[in-house]
């Protein structure tokens, strides 16, 4: 009795295995596509717009190529000028615009921000930067809701503006005003992705949201309420949320642990940043240049490592030397330490503003640091407006 052949014929075997291989290959491609899509959606806001998700992912990716250069209110004014169309101290110093532009939206109940820049103008500059392919980041030196004083009025208010507090409804009015402004930042009906950096330098005591002026639990509650209110109540889905303690208040023996003071959780933060004026030449730091450089490197290495562990972008969200009193500051203090330490992977650095000849942090034509800044600009590690592309698209080359 001949046993039944339960196996395909020779030609059938080939067809069978071809179909299996094809099926496996298609399945692998679908899994890979799903993983890529999941990575692109790794934002605080799971309903974030496609371009916001892409920007968030690209902030992580671009650190492999270099770091983007940013400047606060670069288009609004500079040394010796205010509100001149197309002007930029940075562009006039090197021939190119910054890749990242910082803005502040405090004094949101008035026509002008804390630096007397009209909100209507800020909106137009945000649109201009976006159309060029650049990136906008927003800070908020928000006034004390309880007293009516400014951000530096340290009378306790956090407990009063949280849900259930006596000033909670007044604080929500503030949130509504900034929500309205950020919702107005759009092109052809499409919202412009914005990096929002509220309640910065909270580990210092100089702001009302700072350490000693509220508890750590209150700070975390404030951050979480703000994020939840903006994305869930006001339906802002074009924000990337940036956390930024101050370097001067980090414990050098426990950089990571002290950095995480007040951290609201991975589900509430997209970008790990910090502000560092301490290690870049400030007058009150009595350490030698080499010691400051070592601290600068250690802090940014920690930040980069932590960001990688958490799958976040890392950024030096504020830095600079007032007056740029060191003629080789850009290459000596910023570029070379980062260049010589590949453990540092930053999406961007952002210098503070250029208000006048004494209070400025970026270069301008004729300044003693202008030639050094040109060297800084030409280095392949520094990325300016002309160096970047596709920051709002997924899976595309990011540098030219």
Overall domain count for the chain: 2
State the DSSP code for 98.
Answer: -
In this structure, the answer to whether residues 33 and 148 fall within a common structural domain is no
pLDDT in tens, 165-215: 999 999 999 999 999 999 999 999 999 999 999 999 999 999 999 999 999
- The reply to whether 218 belongs to the active site is no
In this structure, the answer to whether residues 76 and 28 fall within a common structural domain is no
In this structure, the answer to whether residues 58 and 98 fall within a common structural domain is yes
Q: Which of 201, 218, 309, 371 is catalytic?
A: 201
Residue 3 lies in a domain: no
pLDDT in tens, 78-89: 999 999 999 999
Residue 234 lies in a domain: yes
In this structure, the answer to whether residues 313 and 379 fall within a common structural domain is yes
**What pLDDT was estimated at residue 362?**
98
- The reply to whether 201 belongs to the active site is yes
In this structure, the answer to whether residues 30 and 128 fall within a common structural domain is no
Q: What stretch of H or E contains 29? A: helix 10-40
In this structure, the answer to whether residues 315 and 202 fall within a common structural domain is yes
Q: Is the pLDDT of residue 319 over 70?
A: yes
**What pLDDT was estimated at residue 110?**
98
Q: Which of 73, 108, 218, 318 is catalytic?
A: 318
- 281/329 Cα distance (integer angstroms): 9
Residue 36 lies in a domain: yes
In this structure, the answer to whether residues 25 and 71 fall within a common structural domain is no
| Averaged pLDDT for residues 310-324 | 98
Residue 400 lies in a domain: no
User: Could you tell me which residue, 29 or 230, shows the higher pLDDT?
Assistant: 230
Q: Is the pLDDT of residue 93 over 50?
A: yes
| Averaged pLDDT for residues 313-328 | 98
> pTM of whole model > 0.85?
yes
Residue 397 lies in a domain: no
**What pLDDT was estimated at residue 376?**
98
User: Are residues 138 and 185 in contact, defined by beta-carbon separation less than 8 angstroms?
Assistant: no
In this structure, the answer to whether residues 92 and 24 fall within a common structural domain is no
Residue 392 lies in a domain: no
Tell me the residue range of the domain where 345 lies: 49-387
**Segments of the chain assigned E as strands:** 67-72, 77-78, 81-82, 100-104, 135-140, 186-187, 190-191, 194-198, 239-243, 271-276, 313-319, 348-351, 382-383
In this structure, the answer to whether residues 58 and 35 fall within a common structural domain is no
Residue 126, domain CATH: 3.20.20.80
User: Could you tell me which residue, 33 or 320, shows the higher pLDDT?
Assistant: 320
Residue 97 lies in a domain: yes
Residue 393 lies in a domain: no
pLDDT in tens, 339-379: 999 999 999 999 999 999 999 999 999 999 999 999 999 99
pLDDT in tens, 249-272: 999 999 999 999 999 999 999 999
Residue 40's pLDDT band (cuts 50, 70, 90): very low
Q: Is the pLDDT of residue 31 over 50?
A: no
**What pLDDT was estimated at residue 42?**
87
């Amino acid at each position: 009795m001949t046993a039944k052949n339960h196996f395909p014929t020779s030609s059938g075997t080939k067809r069978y295995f071809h179909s299996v291989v094809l099926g496996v290959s298609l399945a692998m491609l679908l899994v890979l596509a799903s993983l890529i899509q999941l990575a692109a959606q790794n934002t605080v806001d799971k309903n974030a717009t496609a371009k916001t998700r892409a920007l968030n992912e690209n902030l992580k990716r671009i650190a492999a190529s270099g770091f983007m250069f940013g400047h606060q209110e670069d288009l609004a004014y500079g040394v010796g000028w205010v509100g001149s169309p197309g002007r930029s101290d940075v562009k006039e110093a090197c021939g190119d615009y910054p890749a990242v532009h910082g803005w502040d939206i405090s004094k949101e109940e008035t026509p002008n921000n804390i630096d007397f820049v009209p909100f209507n103008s800020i909106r137009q500059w945000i649109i201009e930067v976006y159309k060029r392919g650049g990136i906008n980041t927003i800070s908020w030196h928000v006034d004390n809701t309880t007293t009516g004083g400014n951000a530096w009025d340290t009378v306790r208010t956090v407990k009063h503006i949280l849900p259930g507090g006596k000033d909670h409804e007044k604080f929500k009015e503030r949130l509504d005003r900034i929500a309205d402004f950020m919702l107005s930042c759009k092109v052809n009906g499409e919202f412009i992705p914005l990096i929002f950096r509220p309640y910065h330098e909270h580990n210092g005591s100089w702001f009302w949201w700072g350490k000693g002026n509220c508890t750590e639990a209150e700070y975390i509650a404030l951050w979480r309420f703000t994020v939840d209110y903006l994305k869930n109540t006001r339906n802002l889905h074009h924000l990337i949320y940036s956390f930024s303690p101050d370097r001067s208040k980090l414990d050098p023996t426990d950089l990571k642990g002290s950095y995480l003071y007040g951290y609201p959780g991975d589900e509430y933060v997209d970008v790990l940043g910090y502000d560092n004026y301490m290690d870049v030449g400030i007058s009150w730091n009595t350490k030698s240049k080499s010691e400051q450089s070592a601290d600068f490197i250690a802090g940014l290495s920690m930040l980069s490592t932590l960001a990688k562990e958490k799958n976040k972008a890392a950024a030096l969200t504020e830095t600079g030397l007032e007056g740029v009193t060191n003629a080789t500051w850009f290459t000596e203090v910023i570029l070379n330490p980062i260049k010589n330490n590949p453990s540092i992977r930053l999406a961007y650095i952002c210098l503070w503003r250029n208000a006048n000849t004494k209070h400025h942090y970026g270069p301008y034509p004729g300044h003693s640091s202008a030639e050094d800044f040109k060297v800084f600009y030409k280095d392949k590690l520094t990325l300016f407006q002309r160096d970047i592309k596709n920051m709002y698209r997924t899976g595309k080359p990011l540098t030219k």
